[in-house]
Amino acid sequence: MAATRKVNDLISIEEIGAIALICIDNPPVNATGQAVRQGLQEAIETLNSEGKAKAIAVYAAGRTFVAGADIREFGKPPMPPALPDVFNIIEDSAIPVVAVMHGTALGGGFELGLSCHARVGIEGLKVGLPEINLGLLPGAGGTQRVPRLAGIPMALDMALSGRQVSAKEALEKGLIDRLVAGEPREVAVQVAEEVAAGKLATRRTCDLNTPKDDKALDDTAAMLKKTQAHMYSCHKIVEAVRASYLPRTEGLKIERQAFIDSMQTPQRAGMIHAFFGERAVSNIPEAKGPTRPLEKVGVIGGGTMGSGIATACLLAGLQVRLVEVAEEGLKRGIATITKNIDGAVQRGKLKAEKRDAVLGALTPSLNMGDLADVDLVIEAVFEQMDVKKDIFTKLDGICKDGAILASNTSYLDINEIAAVTKRPQDVLGLHFFSPAHVMRLLEIVVPDKTAADVVATGFALAKKLGKVGVRAGVCDGFIGNRILAHYSKTASYLVLDGASPMQVDNALEGFGFAMGPHKVGDLAGLDIGWMTRKRKAATRDPAERYAGDVADKICENGWFGRKSGRGYYVYEGGATVPNEETLAILDQVRAEKGISPRSFTDEDIVDRYMTAMIVEAARVVEDGTARRPLDVDMVFLFGYGFPRFRGGPLHYADTIGAKALVERIEAYAKEDPHYWQVPAILARMAKDGGTFADLNKEG
C-alpha cells in the first residue's frame, strides 16, 4: 500500500512498504528555495525519527531534477535552513538515501545528489557546477564531494568551466553509480527497493578521501592568476577544492566562507543580471503573440553574412534557399556554408551523421523567382540603399502573400526600404552579427508599419536559432552600432591626444574586453570604417571633432588590418606587434594639428571610453530605440564582447552612479563640449537618485 503525505507545498513523502520516496515539485526547475530546503530537511528528519523505511529515494517532478539554488534569493537576507546544512543532514541520515536524477542536475541540484549515498542517472541527464557563470562557486559541498568521488582535476574542470557533463561521462568518472532509462518515480521505486534489499551499494561521499594532487591545484592557481585577474570566485574555487583534503566540517567551512565572500562581489551582481537579462529580453508582449509559419527561409547574398545566416538556419533545421546573382558568388556561398557546417561538426555542435541531411536542406539558386514559396526572406547584400530598394521591389512581386521580407542591414532606414513595397506590414529588420552562425545576438528591428505577428515571428526565429533576440527601433545603427559609432570616437580622441593605440587596447583588455578597439578594428578590416567615414563625410556635423585622421591615413597606405598583414599592429608569423609606421603617422598627424601629446592613465582611458558608451546607451533608452536598459546590456554582452561579469554598459553605469557620471561628463565637456553632453535621462537620475535598474523594473 502506498501512502503519500505532504511535508509542505513543494515536498511530499510517499511510502511503499519498506521504502520511502521524497518528491520535490517546484516548477519550473525545482530550484532549492527556502521551502524546498525546509521541506527536504523535515522529510529526512521525520523518516529517520519514524525509523520505518529501509531506504529513501529523492527524485523530482517535471522536466528536470533540481537545477540549483534559487537564484532569485541571491542578494537578499539568507533564510534558514542553509543548503549545506540540509545536505549534511541527508549525508548523515541513518537510512540510506539514493538520488534519482533526470534532466539537468546543476549547482545545488547536483550537490544534493552528491550528499546522497548513491546516485542514479536517467538517460539524458546532465550534471554540472555552473556557479562560476554567476560569479560564484559551488557553495553546498560541490568543491568537497566532487574531488572525493572523481579527483581534483575533474572537480577543478567542472567548477571552473561550469560545463554540463553528460551522464555517460559522469558514470565513467564515478559521479553517478548507475545510468538507466525510465520515468523518475518508477526508477526511484526500483532503486530504493534495491537499496533496501542491499543490491545497490551505498556510502557517504564525505567518508572518502580526496586523492592528493597538489600539482593540479598549483598549476591551476598559477594559470588563473595570469588569465582571470577579475574573477574572484575562480581563485576561491582552487582554495575550496584544496580544502577537500580536510575533514568534511573544516572543508565545508572554507567553501562556505568563499561562497559568502563571492556573493558580495560586483561580478556576482553583473553575472546574475546577465542570467536574468538573457531571459527577460524576449519576455515582452510583442514576442509572445501569434506567429507566422517558419519552415522555408530564403537568403539573398552568399557573402560572409548571407552564408553565416544560411548556416544558422540550416543548423536549426530550416529549409534554406540561397540566392545569388552570379554563378561565382553562388559557388563561394555554398563553399562557405559547407565549411561552416563542417566546422560545426568539428566543434561538436552537429553530429557527423547529420551533416549531409543538413546540407541537403540547402537549395542554391540564381533566380529570385525561386523565393516565391518561402515563409521568410532575409536579404544580406551590400549596404547600399538603392540596391536594397531594388531587391525589395522585386521581392514584393515574387513572394507569396504573408511572407516576411527581412533585411539584415546594419544601419539603413528600414522604413524607407519597407516603403518601396505594397506590404510594409510584412517588412522587418533582422540584424545578425558576424559570424552569424556563431554570434548569439539578433537585433529585431521594428519599422513603423510592421504587423504584430511579424515581430513575434522574428522572436520565434531567434529562439529557433538559439539566439538572443533583442527588439530595436529604427535609427542609424539601431542599438549596438549606433552606440559603437559614438564611443569608438573616444578611442580615436585618446590616441590623438597622447595615448598609444596599444595603451588604449591594454587598458580596455584590463577592464575585461577580450580585445581592445584597435585590435578589433584590425580584425574586422579597417576599410569598413573608412568606407563609412567617406559615406558620411558630406553630412558630418562641422562642429564635431573629426576622429578618423589616423585611420584614414593607415587605409590610404593599403593597410586594412589583419587581412593585409598590417594596420595598428603588424601580423607576422603568428606574432602581433605594434606597427611602428602607424605610430609615425600618429606623430605626424599630431604635429600637423598642433597637438602636444599628454599622458593618460589606464583608469582615465577606461573611464572616458565607458562614459562615452553609457552616454549613447542612455540616449538609446531615452528615445525608445531600446525599450529597457537591459536590452542594451544584452546587445553588448551577446554582440560586442562586453565582459559578462560587468553585466552590460548600463548595469555597469549603475555601479558608478548617475551623479558621478554627470560630473565626469561635465569635466570632459570642458575640453570638447560638442561631444560630451549629458543625456537628459542621466541628468534626471542624478537629480532624483534613480538608476537604470529601476527602469528595468518598470519595464
Rounded distance between C-alpha atoms, residue 178 and residue 167, angstroms = 9
Mark the segment that binds ligand 3H9 (CB under 6 A) among 104-112, 195-203, 231-239, 420-428: 104-112
3-state secondary structure of 692: helix
Helix ranges restricted to H, 421-467: 452-464
Where do we find the cell 516603403? 419
364 binds ligand 3H9 (CB under 6 A): no
643 binds ligand 3H9 (CB under 6 A): no
90 binds ligand 3H9 (CB under 6 A): no
Q: Kind and range of the H or E element at 328? A: helix 327-346
E-state strands within 2-50:
2-6, 11-16, 19-24
47 binds ligand 3H9 (CB under 6 A): no
Instruction: Report the nearest approach of ligand 3H9 to the CB of residue 80 (Å).
Output: 12
Instruction: Report the nearest approach of ligand 3H9 to the CB of residue 309 (Å).
Output: 23
Instruction: Report the nearest approach of ligand 3H9 to the CB of residue 67 (Å).
Output: 3
Mark the segment that binds ligand 3H9 (CB under 6 A) among 69-77, 339-347, 503-511, 527-535: 69-77
Mark the segment that binds ligand 3H9 (CB under 6 A) among 61-69, 360-368, 444-452, 676-684: 61-69
Q: Which is nearer to ligand 3H9, 67 or 234 (CB)?
A: 67
DSSP character for 348? T
Q: Which is nearer to ligand 3H9, 71 or 508 (CB)?
A: 71
Binds ligand 3H9 by CB under 6 A, chosen from 11, 29, 99, 274: 29
Binds ligand 3H9 by CB under 6 A, chosen from 39, 113, 121, 138: 138
Instruction: Report the nearest approach of ligand 3H9 to the CB of residue 44 (Å).
Output: 17
Q: How many helical (H) and strand (E) elements, i.e. helices and strands, does the chain have?
A: 30, 20
Residues in the chain: 699
What angle in degrees, to the nearest 10, is found between the helix axes of 108-115 and 83-91?
20
Which amino acid is located at 531 in the chain?
M
Binds ligand 3H9 by CB under 6 A, chosen from 26, 88, 104, 409: 104
3-state secondary structure of 481: helix
Rounded distance between C-alpha atoms, residue 409 and residue 430, angstroms = 8
68 binds ligand 3H9 (CB under 6 A): yes
Instruction: Report the nearest approach of ligand 3H9 to the CB of residue 110 (Å).
Output: 8
Does the annotation mark 111 as catalytic? yes
Say which residues have a Cβ less than 8 Å from residue 562's Cβ, sequence separation at least 6: 522, 523, 525, 571
Q: How many Cα atoms within 13 Å fall on the side-chain side of residue 513?
A: 21
Binds ligand 3H9 by CB under 6 A, chosen from 36, 60, 112, 134: 134
CA-CA-CA-CA torsion sign (153, 154, 159, 164): positive
Rounded distance between C-alpha atoms, residue 559 and residue 567, angstroms = 5
648 binds ligand 3H9 (CB under 6 A): no
Q: Which grid coordinates belong to 49?
A: 525519527
Instruction: Report the nearest approach of ligand 3H9 to the CB of residue 301 (Å).
Output: 32
Q: Which is nearer to ligand 3H9, 114 or 192 (CB)?
A: 114
DSSP character for 573? T
Does the annotation mark 581 as catalytic? no
Binds ligand 3H9 by CB under 6 A, chosen from 39, 130, 184, 521: 130
Say which residues have a Cβ less than 8 Å from residue 643's Cβ, sequence separation at least 6: 230, 511, 512, 513
In terms of Cα–Cα distance, which of 277, 288, 115, 122 is closest to 207? 115
Q: How many Cα atoms within 13 Å fall on the side-chain side of residue 583?
A: 12
255 binds ligand 3H9 (CB under 6 A): no
Out of 15, 91, 111, 379, which one is annotated catalytic?
Answer: 111
Q: Which grid coordinates belong to 516?
A: 581592445
Site string for ligand 3H9, 270-289 (x = CB under 6 A): ---------x----------
In terms of Cα–Cα distance, which of 261, 268, 336 is closest to 306? 336
Out of 91, 131, 193, 443, which one is annotated catalytic?
Answer: 131
Q: Which is nearer to ligand 3H9, 84 or 306 (CB)?
A: 84
Binds ligand 3H9 by CB under 6 A, chosen from 39, 108, 480, 512: 108
Q: Active-site residue numbers? A: 111, 131
Q: Which residues bind ligand 3H9 (CB under 6 A)?
A: 28-29, 31, 64, 67-72, 83, 104, 106-108, 111, 130-131, 134, 138-140, 142, 279
